[in-house]
């Protein structure tokens, strides 16, 4: 993945500007010399993620803020566990609190949900993959969170991989012509994947030399047949990915068909923030 340093800075600056605007009116009630300490407590079991974003929110306003962590990104944390302690200027801590927690709660939610899917298929050869269905402006952050939960990143955007979908095939004229064109224009190292919606389309893609195929909304029976067909028809290694209507209730059955990858948009799209609490106390 790309270097996160600049991305974190941009994310945090955007969040703080959005929240603070011309100034934090409520924080101005606090004396400038006031100092506070605080602790972040997890109120549920989760996978921690977002430490760097959390820290950057406070440090952007007050570089001398002290933060001591008792867990790291990717760690499993328990309900009522203390995650970190913070000490710094009261105004700055109170101003940065919501933005910092927003990042930590959201990214921990992505990592936690990913871990649930990864655990559900832990003893299979299948991997869980994310998609481009991310929150606008937070793609790299969410994809980082997926890796903290044990998942694998798909392409980061439209620029680093080719995914030929139904409308691309229609515009190109056929699966063969779309794949042929993709092979001609793809930069070195770029992944080329094509989406199919039936076994006959899979057969056509294999005949055309596809190396990675996305099986869209296949039934379990169709997925099993697709794995068999691919092994029979292709002499080279072809990666098969399942997508569409996959939940925690059926993900294991999908993996047991022998599929290589399962892509799940809900990892980054349908998330519920992890319940974290920031408790303040006056420093002596």
Residue positions annotated with a catalytic role: 98, 133, 165, 195, 216
Q: How far is CA 240 from the centre of its chain?
A: 21
Q: Residue 128 phi/psi, 5° resolution? A: -95, 130
Could you give the count of Cα atoms lying within 13 Å of 180 in the half-sphere of its Cβ? 9
Helix/strand/coil for 277:
strand
SS3 69: strand
Chain-centre distance for alpha carbon 259: 21
Tokens 């306003």 sit on residue: 61
User: In this structure, are strands 127-129 and 261-263 parallel, antiparallel, or unpaired?
Assistant: parallel
User: Is residue 202 within a helix (H) or strand (E), and if so which, with residue range?
Assistant: helix 199-207
Q: Which residues share a beta bridge with 162? A: 192
Determine phi and psi for 67, rounding to 5 degrees.
-130, 125
Contact 69, 51 (CB under 8 A): yes
**Secondary structure letter of residue 29 according to DSSP:** G
> Closest Cα to residue 149, out of 112, 117, 119?
112
């Amino acid at each position: 993945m790309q270097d996160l340093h600049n991305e974190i800075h941009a994310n945090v600056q955007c969040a703080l500007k959005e929240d603070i605007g011309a100034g934090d009116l409520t924080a101005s009630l606090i004396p400038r010399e006031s100092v506070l300490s605080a602790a972040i407590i997890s109120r549920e079991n989760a996978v921690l993620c977002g430490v760097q974003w959390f820290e950057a929110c406070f440090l952007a306003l007050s570089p001398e803020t002290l933060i001591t962590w008792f867990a790291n990104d990717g760690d499993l944390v328990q309900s009522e566990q203390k995650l970190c302690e913070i000490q710094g200027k009261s105004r700055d801590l109170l101003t940065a609190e919501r933005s910092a927690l927003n990042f930590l709660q959201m990214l921990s939610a992505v990592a936690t949900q990913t871990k649930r899917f990864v655990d559900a298929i832990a003893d299979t050869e299948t991997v869980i993959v994310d998609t481009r269905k991310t929150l606008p402006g937070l793609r790299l952050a969410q994809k980082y969170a997926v890796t903290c939960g044990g998942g694998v990143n798909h392409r980061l955007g439209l620029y680093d991989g080719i995914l030929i979908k139904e409308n691309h095939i229609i515009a190109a004229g056929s699966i063969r012509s779309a794949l042929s064109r993709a092979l001609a224009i793809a930069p070195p190292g770029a992944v080329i994947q094509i989406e199919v919606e039936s076994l006959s389309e899979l057969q056509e893609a294999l005949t055309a030399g596809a190396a990675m195929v996305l099986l869209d909304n296949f039934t379990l029976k169709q997925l099993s047949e697709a794995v068999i067909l691919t092994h029979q028809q292709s002499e080279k290694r072809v990666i098969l990915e399942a997508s569409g209507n996959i939940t925690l209730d059926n993900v294991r059955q999908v993996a047991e068909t022998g599929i290589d990858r399962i892509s799940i948009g809900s990892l980054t799209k349908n998330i519920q923030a992890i319940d974290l609490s920031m408790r303040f106390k006056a420093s002596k």
